[in-house]
Amino acid sequence: MKAPRYVYDFDEPSDGGRELLGGKGLGLVEMTQLGVPVPAGFTITTDACRAYMAAGGELPDGLEEEVAEHIKRLERKAGKRFGDPSDPVLVSVRSGAAVSMPGMMDTILNLGLNDDAVRGLAERTGSARFAHDSYRRLIQMYGEVVDGVDAHRFEQTLSDFKQRRGVPNDVDLSADDLADLIETFKRIYDEEVGRAFSQDAREQLSRAIRAVFDSWNSPRAQVYRRTYEIPDDLGTAVNVVQMVFGNKGDDSGTGVCFTRDPSTGEQGLYGEFLVNAQGEDVVAGIRTPEPIERMRTSMPQAFEQLVETMERLEKHYRDMQDIEFTVEDSRLYLLQTRAAKRTAAAALKAAVSMVEEGLISKEEAIGRIDPSQLDQLLHPMLDPKAVFEVAATGLNASPGAACGKVVLDADTAEERGKAGEDVILVRWETTPDDIHGLISAKGILTAHGGMTSHAAVVARGMGRPCVAGCEGLSIDLERRVATIGGHEVPEGEVITIDGGTGRVIIGPVELVPPQINEDFQTILEWADDVRRLKVRANADTPADAAKAREFGAQGIGLCRTEHMFMAEERLEIVREMILASDEDERRAALDKLLPMQQSDFEGIFEAMAGLPVTIRLLDPPLHEFLPPLEQATDDRMRQRIKALAESNPMLGTRGCRLGLQWPEIYEMQLRAIVRAAQAVEERTGAAPLVEIMHPLVGFAEELRRLRELTVRTVAEEGGIEYLCGTMIELPRAAIRADEIAEHADFFSFGTNDLTQTTLGFSRDDAEGKFLTFYLEHGVLERNPFETLDQSGVGELMRIAIERGRTVKEEIKLGICGEHGGDAASVAFCHGLGLDYVSCSPYRVPLARLAAAQAALAEEGAATYVAAGR
Ligand code: PEP
Ligand code: MG
């Protein structure tokens, strides 16, 4: 049998694509093919990583030999030898998975240097300073990444050293200073690791490759994968790339650049650049880089080449690119190109402009938007009417406003965030190790770093507001105090940040919901043209209904009438109704509620004129309207609370069981609906499209009786046009959907309860209890209350549809559980052939887009796959 092949040169075609070579490897191969200047090198495949992991950390047979072969090829191209003491070729070892995970795994630069080669490098380049700087970086990075030396030890030593020399920046250290530093770093390495720093270039390379494979399973990479639902078994590729040096002097440098602004999507180069530096300096935010425009004057030739190359790359990929580059002795090299991470606003603008530019089709534009990212645009902004004083400003690194308590480290952010507090993570700069804190914070504020610093990139990806590089910010970790624009703000005090403008305000500021802008509107209209699923909203008030309509809802799929009972002045009457000792007393209380409920319905019908409104009759267990026992005001109330108490109220006296036991409650609600519809028709001349829905039906007999009650009551009120249907939210209802369909004009899947009852997971408790454990330990990949459990709950839906249609072929079908606003679940509902999904008003745009993507995917068009970019 032929041994599997694990290594491909950048100039060798392979069939494996992104899955095999990783995003970075594939980009290097494609750029090589396009004739874009990239350094020589090769990719070790993700197959090798998977084999390494499967063997418990052993490199697969034959890999070392293949690497040795490819090093030889690299040496031939470079005209230099790896490990040669007089003129060494150096390499970097870079991770690169199929899915972009920026900064989550490891990279090691300058491999191949040792005590002899550093002298050779100094002689060949004529710069001892450069050679020494490269060697000290290798010892530091290799120590940290390969042998787990505490990064702090090297950083502290470097910082003390600079202080002793009285210089602020690394670049101010002389060749001799750096030679001293190398000795100290080697001593630290020896002390921490228990042996001397390896002088053997091949051993360095082999251990570095293993370390990058291992970094696939680092805690931060695991957290990142869980957040973005990236499978654990993909593994990373490893790219071995000939080093080019941005730290060789003033005609060298390094930078990152986007083909369009990643915050706004505006066309034009957008990026940052550092003269005489290596890439890690930019990403780590150690030195604050300059805007890319400056390069036009400082390195005109390389700049021109950069502009031309980026245009070519964007045309080739037909998508916004994010590149890393290095200029060595005025020569440009690209080290990476990938589809740029962008804010939702930028994604929309870029997609719309690319259609206008003729680069992509409308369908492709729809496919380019991550539906779950749209949430960002529907996040709060500072109230334009609010009056406040700006304490400091920084870069507008990721849009949206956030208000929360200052926390000064990632662990505290996670702890307090999980406890339900709104926190803003305030740091000098963030590193990939802070990922759990970034996830838990409402916003991020940093003192250092630019638009491409770690905090900025990650925040944009997650849709968290972020202000970066805020010069007026300093942090005293010992005293746990931040100073913002000269004001001391102890940890725990509230600040507000506006990631759209870079403003930082001490104290809370009123936030307002944003509007849908023009690009957003354009994409949604294109989406509406291709989708088949209708999108309705879950709305219980006229205000919510109006908001839903503004966001494009095509009706209300669920109006929960109990929410109308909760208002303070009504709760009293509802309690009167519940505490009533007989039917007369109960009816008296209900009579008082009727006009209130009627006026709510009128408001909703008017807001939704011309569109269907599904009103669900009372559903929750009655005790939800009563105070806890200890707050009972008298004996009667105490008795009643006790009498109504149930061990499992979610499986108790709720839903249609209430309506059957106390029909006068549903009668009141039905009368209110009919009277409201009649009043609105009289006022506006148009009859509302009323759909009356009964909750928690499990037996056909329940719905038969309730339909009878409905028909009789509506007739008693003088009649209206309406549909009468039921929720399908119990497994039995799904299984016996044929019998139930006899009495239903429509089914609406209540997948919140259907998930609860199918899985036996309490919707109130599971998420705070074992479900977190399940998700963290991979027992389940997704929270079934967020993303539909397609093979379990989804299968019941399929059964219900199939059986329901045997009795009523044209039965109307919808979903109104939370899943109606989840992109993957919307796609599933499209596949099931539902008529509509219904979700909260703010998710309506997401559902419109997801429904369009589902329709396009059915036709075979490529659409956004969260894990595929
Ligand atoms: C459901 O159960 O999915 C549903 C929509 O109803 P509720 O959340 O009100 O129980
Ligand atoms: Mg329900």
pLDDT at 441: 95
Tokens of 61: 């047979």
CA 796 to chain centroid: 29
Task: Tell me what percent of the residues of the chain surpass a pLDDT of 70.
Answer: 97
Ligand 1 atom 4: residue of nearest CA: 750
Tokens of 130: 């450069």
| Ligand in nearest proximity to the CA of 820 | 1
Long-range contacts of 171-174 (CB under 8 A, 24+ apart): 171/276, 171/277, 173/129, 173/133, 174/129
Mean pLDDT of 720-724: 98
Mean pLDDT of 324-333: 94
Q: Answer yes or no: is pLDDT of 262 > 50.
A: yes
Ligand 1 atom 6: residue of nearest CA: 750
pLDDT at 280: 67
Which segment, 281-285, 420-424, 512-516, is predicted with the most confidence on average?
Answer: 420-424
Ligand 1 and 817: CB distance under 6 A? yes
pLDDT at 396: 80
Residue 369 alpha carbon to ligand 1 centre in Å: 29
- 620-660 pLDDT, tens digit per residue, is 988 888 888 888 888 888 988 888 889 898 899 999 999 99
Nearest alpha-carbon partner for 844 in 820, 817, 816: 820
| Ligand in nearest proximity to the CA of 538 | 1
Ligand 1 and 816: CB distance under 6 A? yes
- 221-232 pLDDT, tens digit per residue, is 888 888 788 888
Nearest alpha-carbon partner for 230 in 490, 461, 524, 548: 461
pLDDT at 451: 65
pLDDT at 344: 85
Residues 6+ apart with CB under 8 A from 859: none
Q: CA 420 to CA 301: how far, in whole Å?
A: 53
Residue 731 alpha carbon to ligand 1 centre in Å: 14
Ligand 1 atom 10: residue of nearest CA: 753
Model confidence band, residue 869 (pLDDT cutoffs 50, 70, 90): very low
Residue 441 alpha carbon to ligand 1 centre in Å: 29
Q: Quick check: 234 and 300 in contact, CB under 8 A?
A: no
pLDDT at 378: 78
**Ligand 1: which of 651, 656, 727 to mutate, most ligand atoms within 8 Å of CB?**
727
* 743 belongs to the catalytic site: no
Q: Quick check: 659 and 611 in contact, CB under 8 A?
A: no
Mean pLDDT of 335-353: 91
Ligand 1 and 562: CB distance under 6 A? no
Residue of 70, 436, 448, 454 marked active site: 454
Model confidence band, residue 736 (pLDDT cutoffs 50, 70, 90): very high
Q: Answer yes or no: is pLDDT of 283 > 60.
A: no
Tokens of 670: 């039905």
Residues 6+ apart with CB under 8 A from 166: none
Ligand 1 and 655: CB distance under 6 A? no
- 675-712 pLDDT, tens digit per residue, is 999 999 999 999 999 999 999 999 999 999 999 999 99
DSSP 3-state of 839: strand
Higher-pLDDT residue of 522 and 578 is: 522
Mean pLDDT of 570-581: 88
| Ligand in nearest proximity to the CA of 817 | 1
Residue 696 alpha carbon to ligand 2 centre in Å: 7
CA 633 to chain centroid: 47
Residue 558 alpha carbon to ligand 1 centre in Å: 9
* Residues having C-beta closer than 5 Å to ion ligand 2: 729, 750, 753
Ligand 1 atom closest to 729 (CA): 2
Q: CA 459 to CA 485: how far, in whole Å?
A: 23
Lowest-pLDDT range of 115-124, 178-187, 626-635: 626-635
Residue 809 alpha carbon to ligand 2 centre in Å: 25
Whole-number mean pLDDT of the chain? 91
Q: Answer yes or no: is pLDDT of 803 > 80.
A: yes
Classify residue 617 as left (phi > 0), alpha (psi -120 to 50) or beta.
beta
Residue 690 alpha carbon to ligand 1 centre in Å: 19
**Ligand 1: which of 562, 694, 753 to mutate, most ligand atoms within 8 Å of CB?**
753
Ligand 1 and 558: CB distance under 6 A? yes
Nearest alpha-carbon partner for 677 in 724, 727, 717: 717
Classify residue 166 as left (phi > 0), alpha (psi -120 to 50) or beta.
left
Q: List, in sequence order, every residue forming a beta bridge with 506; answer none if it has no partner.
A: 495
* 816 belongs to the catalytic site: yes
In Å, what is the CA distance from 16 to each residue of 23, 33, 210, 232? 11, 16, 22, 19
Question: DSSP states of 692-705 as a string?
Answer: EEE-S--SHHHHHH
Q: List, in sequence order, every residue forming a beta bridge with 749; answer none if it has no partner.
A: 728, 815
What is the sign of the dihedral through the CA atoms of 708, 713, 716 and 718? negative
Residue 580 alpha carbon to ligand 1 centre in Å: 28
Q: Answer yes or no: is pLDDT of 4 > 90.
A: no
Higher-pLDDT residue of 374 and 308 is: 308
Q: Which residues of 511-543 are buried (b: 16+ CB within 10 A; e: fewer)?
A: beebebeebbebbbebbeebbebbbbbbbbbbe
pLDDT at 840: 84
Ligand 1 atom 9: residue of nearest CA: 560
Residue 22 alpha carbon to ligand 2 centre in Å: 44
pTM: 0.78
Ligand 1 and 621: CB distance under 6 A? no
Tokens of 655: 């839903």
**Ligand 1: which of 619, 651, 748, 759 to mutate, most ligand atoms within 8 Å of CB?**
619
Ligand 1 and 762: CB distance under 6 A? no
- 89-99 pLDDT, tens digit per residue, is 999 999 999 98
Mean pLDDT of 52-76: 95
Q: CA 145 to CA 111: how far, in whole Å?
A: 13
Ligand 1 and 619: CB distance under 6 A? yes
pLDDT at 867: 31
Ligand 1 and 751: CB distance under 6 A? yes
Model confidence band, residue 172 (pLDDT cutoffs 50, 70, 90): confident
Ligand 1 and 797: CB distance under 6 A? no
Mean pLDDT of 511-525: 88
Q: Answer yes or no: is pLDDT of 353 > 70.
A: yes
Q: Which residues of 775-789 are buried (b: 16+ CB within 10 A; e: fewer)?
A: eeeeeeeebbbebbb
Model confidence band, residue 866 (pLDDT cutoffs 50, 70, 90): very low
Ligand 1 and 285: CB distance under 6 A? no
Site of tokens 């919901």: 513
In Å, what is the CA distance from 104 to each residue of 73, 96, 632, 707, 755? 30, 10, 55, 58, 34
Nearest alpha-carbon partner for 394 in 463, 331, 446, 319: 446
Long-range contacts of 684-687 (CB under 8 A, 24+ apart): 684/606, 684/609, 686/609, 686/610, 687/720, 687/721
Ligand 1 and 752: CB distance under 6 A? yes
| Ligand in nearest proximity to the CA of 563 | 1
| Ligand in nearest proximity to the CA of 818 | 1
Ligand 1 and 519: CB distance under 6 A? no
Residue of 559, 656, 724, 816 marked active site: 816
pLDDT at 62: 93
Mean pLDDT of 497-520: 89
Question: DSSP states of 109-140 as a string?
Answer: EEET--TTHHHHHHHHHT-HHHHHHHHHHHHH
Ligand 1 and 837: CB distance under 6 A? no
Q: CA 102 to CA 279: how far, in whole Å?
A: 14
pLDDT at 763: 84
Helix H or strand E encompassing 425? strand 423-427
pLDDT at 625: 85
Q: CA 861 to CA 739: how far, in whole Å?
A: 39
Residues 6+ apart with CB under 8 A from 210: 52, 57, 59, 146
Ligand 1 atom 8: residue of nearest CA: 752
Residues 6+ apart with CB under 8 A from 387: none
Ligand 1 atom closest to 756 (CA): 2
Q: Which residues of 562-584 are buried (b: 16+ CB within 10 A; e: fewer)?
A: bebbeeeebeebbbbbbbbeeee
Q: Quick check: 88 and 118 in contact, CB under 8 A?
A: no
Q: Answer yes or no: is pLDDT of 45 > 70.
A: yes
pLDDT at 862: 62
| Ligand in nearest proximity to the CA of 656 | 2
Residue 754 alpha carbon to ligand 1 centre in Å: 8
Tokens of 333: 């090299």
Q: At what angle do helices 583-607 and 542-550 cross, to 10 degrees?
A: 30
Strands 503-506, 331-339: pairing kind: unpaired
Mean pLDDT of 114-118: 95
Site of tokens 């580059």: 325
Residue 821 alpha carbon to ligand 1 centre in Å: 13
Model confidence band, residue 454 (pLDDT cutoffs 50, 70, 90): confident
Radius of gyration of the chain (CA): 32
DSSP state of 218: S
Higher-pLDDT residue of 567 and 828 is: 828
Ligand 1 atom closest to 749 (CA): 3
Task: Tell me what percent of the residues of the chain surpass a pLDDT of 90.
Answer: 68
Q: Answer yes or no: is pLDDT of 868 > 50.
A: no
Torsion of CA 291, 297, 301, 307, to 10 degrees: 40
- 402-449 pLDDT, tens digit per residue, is 999 999 999 999 999 988 899 999 999 887 778 889 989 999 999 987
Ligand 1 atom closest to 753 (CA): 2
